[in-house]
Amino acid sequence: MKIPETPDEILQKANEWLTGNYDIKTKAEVRQLIDNKDSTALIDAFYRDLEFGTGGLRGIMGVGTNRMNIYTVGAATQGLSNYLKTVFAGLPQIGVAIGYDCRNNSRLFAETAAGIFSANGIKVYLFEDLRPTPELSFVIRELGLQSGIILTASHNPKEYNGYKAYWDDGSQLVEPHDVNVINEVLKVKVDDIQFNGPKENITIMGAEMDEKFLQKVVSVSLSPDVIKRQKDLKIVYTPIHGTGVKLIPMALAKMGFENVIHIPEQDVVSGDFPTVISPNPEEPAAMALAIKKAIEVDADLVMASDPDADRLGIAVKNDKGEFILVNGNQTVLIFLYYIITKRKELGLLKGNEYIVKTIVTSELAGEIARKNGVEYYDVYTGFKYIAEVIRENEGIKTYIGGGEESFGFLPADFVRDKDAVSSCALMAEIAAWAKDNGRSLFEMLQEIYITYGYSKEKMKYVVRKGKSGAEEIEQMMVNFRNSPPKQLAGSELCIIKDYETLIERNLITGEERPINQKITANVLQFFTLDGTKVSVRPSGTEPKIKFYIEVKDKLASSDQYDETDNKTNQKVDRVMVDLGL
């Protein structure tokens, strides 16, 4: 392999870290990178500045401008502090909450940020130990704070860490605050960062706040009587070494479940994630130990949360008695079907309820809402957009649930981000409700398909790395805009939605109409006459272009499930061929 040459500007940036206001250990590590004959690591650490994007920071840990370290975290925190002091200048005291997950250096970064906020005269509420992301969101609202951050890289590999910023409604930043904070962070130099503020400005939160949060979590229950009858439901749960290890079992116990089975080796809190390659409940390998245990004990339900406990993965037994993973779209369908069905049964549908889904999530979610007289909203990918709808409807309409295909659901609005704690509690209740009615969750999913139509979804991504890769992805989007497919799997294209222009075109009638979104996005959607939907968008955080495929069919009865599933799988394959994938 050819050793890359070190460009002068990269060496200059690295040398600034040798002479600037950086600690001795950091300087020693930078010197080691410079002295290494292979300059690959040096280039990767300094070739760009780690961007504070609309979701915050995320990157590999280490020294350098393109790494997660106390200085990139420090710049982000100083920039956020500067913005908070501008926006909330009229308040006698600005307050922020800080949480962190199990990752290596998360506690260090959290304490670093706490010291910086404190030095800027901002009151800090810091968790005593690792806590789930949804509890951080809850605390902001509970204490009436102006902002919050959590140190987490979600389900990324162990080399990564991240920094997510929240606003006073408990949601991740949306416009104009996201862009304004980014601009403030970009202005910060290392000498501007005020480290080590007074400890008197920092309050430590612990069990008392957990109890308040768990009281809210239990309030999502719609069938407490069912849980009393099914309290012995066999539930296998794993936190995959992360923050769900304490609160999710506590939530299940408070709901009334008495038979929660653990995976001891995955209850070990560790940023090295020793039992998995990737701590992502979307991936079968991450669920393997839990499923193995479920087979041993003949469990009714398997649940897993990711390291910061905002995503939920589940597995259930199919009609052959085999445990299968339920995908993110199916999870959303199960939640919404149950919530709407139970609310209708209990007389809790008053006519002003609504649900929210993202534009790449299954259209069946909207169909369930529509056929039950519940309003639904379509928003861009990202839970901050779901939270934005909740904020705009506060006091006017009643939020009853929302989710996205990437394993995130929010069953109640006391949190304004994905919430695996509440979702695990409610999913266990749904499994109990199904069992109480003589069914399994798998049979319940089949009933949803029989009632509302069958849907098969698949996400395919294409990776193109580097500058040339970014240009290739950009050209792919140009090609799809200029030359969209005429048909997909034999069905004629009828509608194209372009979120960059916010125009929806009907190819049959020639009619154009505006798309109801506040901001533009580089996303294309194709709809065919037979109900097939394809969404195309470049990833905002990775060198990928993503294709979300959904095809439709009818399911007349449960005994036709396998046949229908095979048929729609083949149709998805044909769509991929037509897209050139």
Catalytic (active-site) positions: 154
- Give just the sign of the alpha carbon dihedral 99, 102, 106, 108: positive
- The answer to whether the Cα torsion of 33, 34, 38, 41 is positive or negative is positive
Q: CA-based angle 577:578:580, to the nearest 5?
A: 65
**In a 10 Å sphere around its CB, with 0-12 CB exposed, 13-18 middle and 19+ buried, how is residue 85 labelled?**
middle
d(CA 580, CA 529) in angstroms, rounded, equals 20
Q: What are phi and psi of 47, to 5 degrees?
A: -70, -15
Give the Cα-Cα-Cα angle 289, 294, 295 (nearest 5 degrees).
Answer: 100
Is the Cα torsion angle 360, 365, 371, 372 positive or negative in sign? negative
- Look up residue 234 and give its amino acid: K
Alpha helical stretches, state H, 314-371: 328-345, 363-371
CA distance 71 to 49: 11
The answer to whether the CB of 60 falls within 8 A of the CB of 160 is: yes
What 3-state class would DSSP assign to 322? coil
- Give the residue from 538, 537, 542, 526 showing the smallest Cα distance to 575: 526
> Alpha helix (H) ranges present in 346-406?
363-371, 383-393
- Sign of the CA dihedral 162, 166, 171, 173? negative
**Containing H/E element for 160?**
strand 160-166
Whether 433 contacts 335, CB under 8 Å: no
For the chain, counts of helices (H) and of strands (E): 18, 23
Tokens at residue 194, please? 């005020």
